[in-house]
Amino acid sequence: MGVAGQVFGLDDKPVLNLIVIVKGKLGETEVDVFSMTGLAEGDPYGPAGYEIQLANLPISSIGTLNIQIFDLDAQPLSSPFTFDTFSDCDKNLFIINFTTDEK
């Protein structure tokens, strides 16, 4: 189970080398994981794609996980966005795209 997507600038162009962090709780497990835009292997989500594995199996959660974008100086470029997860195997990859004022 994971979350993936891209980050775009205000000019609708992909923005590379931004940090994507997911924090919160998934079941009884604390989550604090990160990735960078542009590192998703094989570019399946686009040039500024990211992919973060959250668990080895689908787990349902409501309002316990947040995802946020940061620059390389750890300055937030987005507000935390809360998302839910599902225990259904057909709903175990969450696509979340962001737009930021970075270029």
Q: What are the DSSP calls for 1-63, one per residue?
A: -EEEEEEEETTS-B--S-EEEEEEEETTEEEEEEEETT-STT-TT-TTEEEEE--SS---EEE
Question: Which stretch of DSSP H or E encloses residue 70?
Answer: strand 61-70
Report which residue type is found at 72.
L
pLDDT at res. 90: 85
Q: What is the pLDDT of residue 21?
A: 98
Residue linked to tokens 């750890």: 74
Identify the band that residue 24 occupies on the pLDDT scale cut at 50, 70 and 90. very high
Task: With a cut of 70, say whether residue 65 has pLDDT above it.
Answer: yes
pLDDT value at 44 more than 90: no
Residues 71-97 have a mean pLDDT of 93
For residue 76, the number of C-alpha atoms closer than 13 Å in the C-beta half-sphere is 8
* Section 56-82 average pLDDT: 95
Whole-angstrom Cα distance, residue 62 to residue 50? Answer: 22
> 27 near 53, Cβ under 8 Å?
no
Q: Is residue 102 over pLDDT 70?
A: no
What the chain holds in terms of domains, given with CATH numbers, is: 2-95 (2.60.40)
